[in-house]
Structure formats: structure tokens, C-alpha cells
Amino acid sequence: MRMNIAIVGGGIAGLSFALGLHKRGIDCDVFEAVNEVKEIGVGITLLPHAMRELAEIGVQSAIEAAGIENLESVFFTHHGQFVYKEARGRHAGYSLPEIGAHRGKLHRILFDAAVSRLGADKVHTGMRCTGYSQDANGVQLNFVNTHNNTNVSMSAEIAVACDGVNSAIRKQMHPTDALCFGGINTWRGVTIHPPILTGKSYLRIGTVEVGKMVIYPIVDNVDGKGNQLINWVAELQKPNAVMNDWNRSVDPGVCAEIYKDFKFDFLNVPELILKSEKVFEYPMVDKDALPFWTQGRMTLMGDAAHPMYPRGSNGSAQALIDARTLSDQLSKHTNPRDALTEYESLRLSTTAKVVETNRNVPPDFIIMKAQELSGGKPFRHIDDLISQDELRQISDNYKNVAGFALTK
């Protein structure tokens, strides 16, 4: 199909979109801001509906080989008391797995696939978008080429902004748009550590009010001694909190102090944090849902369209679904503007509901409920407070909103 599409941003959304277009015979170019793609970052969890989209673009086997298939998700209070457990992915009856992986390895798999299939001349690095203009015939994109610090303009029939939460294109389209910060700051790191619980367990411990930890393995036998690379995220909400910096390296001891009492028979959390080679701080932010994503021949995708709290492992999944949805619409419509309109109608309200749910009723609402019912104090047994069926309903409700409820 003859159609020239510019993709601004070579992250998960942009690269998966490019691979989807290529599969459908649609021409595109990817413009990525960084000069060189490196395997940096920490962990990411790919739920079955994310793996469905990755399988569709032919990278499932590579991702499974690079990560660890989760067996279970387990919830504990900040006292280390068990609240709830459920099987995940294939172990829960899905046809596809739930995978914990290093984000940098996932990015590398997608980037290499795009370069291989589209051609190296179609994937442009060092191209930071600063804005756009358009007319009835096409879109003109303005870039700074960071390889040589020159200004460059590129034209396309349509363009798709996949340039993340700080998207320059979103800002131009919606000038009053702003980050939403509710006082939750986060710290992230990876630690070489013996397997925790099953070695394929995704752990949530505590709540943001007292300190919450999300912990899961992303690389097996990382040192040849049976240890794993464990990804962890710490979250803490304080009244009138000042927003953390973005991706700034901090002293692990600062974070470990918050969790000094998180010492359980199954895990010593402060020790896990202190053994991390590097700890990075971030603010937990999202943005309010937009009234529209599409303006003429330009539209938004992924975090540029619907940045959400990183709860429920759903941000990447929604970006991947965006990519497949727009690829499908562009293959169906001869007029690309019709495709953009239909894409927005299919995805805007759905993702707005996920953003709202991630704020207010995320999967860790299970622990929040236990905290509420116990008054934050230790209890004899979770069944004295709430049944496992009631907790399962909370989990199932999130899956329904997020689009990965198990259908039999």
C-alpha cells in the first residue's frame, strides 16, 4: 500500500507500530531522539494482552528467551502478611505467557527487528522532534539532528507521535497540558539476588501511604551461580511531597531507610535495596485524558496519548494495542485521515478509563483493602477480614478494564 507515514519516537509504541505497518505493506520512517540505542533501564512486565500484540509482529519467541515467565502474583501487607495470590499467564489458563524482562532488552529486540525488516535507512536516530506544521497535503516535522546539532525538516503524508510522556507534539497540540502529580514518588533498581519465593513470583508489598514495593525477576541465573536479576520499584506518598527528579541516580541508603522495617521471612527488603548497584528516582505522574488525539494528519500514540501510573503493568500493553489498532485502520482505509479518526474513536475512551483506574483502583487495591479493614495492624488471617473470592473480584475487575480478562 502506498502511504508515507512518519513515526516520531522509537520506543515500544513507535517500533511496534512500525513493525505492524511493515507487516501490512505500508511504508514508514521512524525518527528516534537518542543517538544510539543501548540496553538501559530496569524491568518491565508484559501481560498476556501485551504478548498477544508482540506475537502478532513476530517477536514473541525472542522476548520469552530474554525474560522470565511469571508463575504467580502475590500480595502482602507492609507487615509481611499474606493477603492474596493468583496464577498468571499460561499458568492461569491464558494462551500466552506473562513475562518479566529487562526493558532495555525488549527495546533492543524491537529496534533490531525494525532495522532488519524496514531497513537501516528507515530508522533514523539522533532526531529530536521540536514541532510540526501541516496543510491539506501532508505534515512537516521539525527536528534537531543531535548527531551534528543541525535543524532538519521532514515531510510525510501523515505522522504519529510516539514521543512519550514529555511529547513535544502533544504539547503543541494541547498547549495547556500538564503533568498530574499526586504526591507519590518512586525509586527503582535491579539487584542480583537469590530467587524469591518460586523464582517466578511477582510480589506487591504494602501501600503507598506506608511504603509499597513491587518486586519481580527479569533475568535468570544472571551470574552462573543461580542468582537472578531482580527488578524492584519503591513507592511512597506524602502530603505536600516535592516531585522527584527524572531518572536521577541516588544513594540506595535513602530509599532503604524508608523500608528499614520490611524484613520478612521470605525477603529482607532493605538489604535488597542496598545491594542494588544503582538506584534511580522518578515521580509517579500521569496526565488527564485529552479531548482529542488527532489533529488533521497528526495523531498521538502510547505515552504521548495516555500517560498512566505505572501500576498493573499496563502502559506498554495499551501502547501495543494502539499500534495494532492504527495499523489495522490504515490497512482498511484508502484515506489515511479516516483511519486516524477511527483509531481515535476506538482507543481514546478505552485508555482514559485505564488511566482513571490506575489512579484509583489499581491491582494493589487488594492490599489497600486489607489495610483499610485491619486498620493497618497485623491480623490473625486474611480470611478474618475478607474472603479470597472478594479479593479475586478486585483483580478480575481490573483485568476487565485493562482488556485482559480471561475468556473461556
Domains of the chain by residue range: 4-43+102-178+290-360, 180-286
% of the chain with per-residue pLDDT over 90: 88
**DSSP 8-state class, residue 263:** B
**Contact predicate 144/128, CB 8 Å:** yes
Q: pLDDT confidence of 1, banded at 50, 70, 90? A: very low
| Per-residue pLDDT, 37 | 82
CA end-to-end span of the chain, whole Å? 37
Same topology, domains 4-43+102-178+290-360 and 180-286? Answer is no
* Radius of gyration of the chain measured on its C-alpha atoms: 21
The closest alpha carbon to 379, from 76, 118, 16, belongs to 76
**What is residue 408's predicted lDDT score, i.e. its pLDDT?**
55
User: Could you give the C-alpha distances from 306 to 12, 14, 132, 344, in angstroms and in order?
Assistant: 14, 14, 20, 12
Model confidence band, residue 406 (pLDDT cutoffs 50, 70, 90): confident
Distances (CA, A) of 234 to 3, 81, 328: 45, 18, 38
Q: How many degrees, rounded to 5, is the angle at CA 282 between CA 211 and CA 300?
A: 120
Beta carbons within 8 Å of 149's beta carbon, 6+ residues apart? none
Mean pLDDT, rounded, of the chain: 94
pLDDT at 38 (0 to 100) = 79
Note the CATH architecture for domain 180-286: 2-Layer Sandwich (3.30)
For residue range 182-221, what is the model confidence (pLDDT) as tens digits?
999 999 999 999 999 999 999 999 999 999 999 999 999 9
Neighbouring C-beta atoms of residue 134, cutoff 10 Å: 17
Beta 72-76 vs 201-207: how paired, if at all? parallel
Q: For 213-264, what is each residue's pLDDT tens digit?
A: 999 999 999 999 999 999 999 999 998 899 999 889 999 999 999 999 999 9
Determine the Cα–Cα distance for residues 320 and 401; give it in Å rounded to an integer.
16
Among 361, 43, 91, which residue's Cα sits nearest to residue 193? Answer: 43
Cα distance between residue 154 and residue 338, in whole Å: 23
Indicate the burial class of 315 (C-beta count within 10 angstroms; 0-12, 13-18, 19 or more).
Answer: buried
pLDDT at residue 69 above 70? yes
Would you state the pLDDT for residue 314?
Answer: 87
Q: How far is CA 276 from the centre of its chain?
A: 22
**What own/partner pairs with CB < 8 Å and gap ≥ 24 does 252-256 have?**
252/189, 252/276, 252/279, 254/187, 254/279, 255/187, 255/189, 255/279
As a whole number, mean pLDDT of residues 266-275 equals 97
In CATH terms, the fold of domain 4-43+102-178+290-360 is FAD/NAD(P)-binding domain (3.50.50)
Is residue 340 pLDDT above 50, yes or no? yes
pLDDT in tens, 355-399: 999 888 888 899 999 999 999 999 999 999 999 999 999 999 998
* Cell numbers at 223, concatenated: 551470574
* Count of beta carbons in the 10 Å neighbourhood of residue 399: 17
DSSP label at 144? E
% of the chain with per-residue pLDDT over 70: 99
At residue 277 the predicted structure's pLDDT band, cuts being 50, 70 and 90, is confident
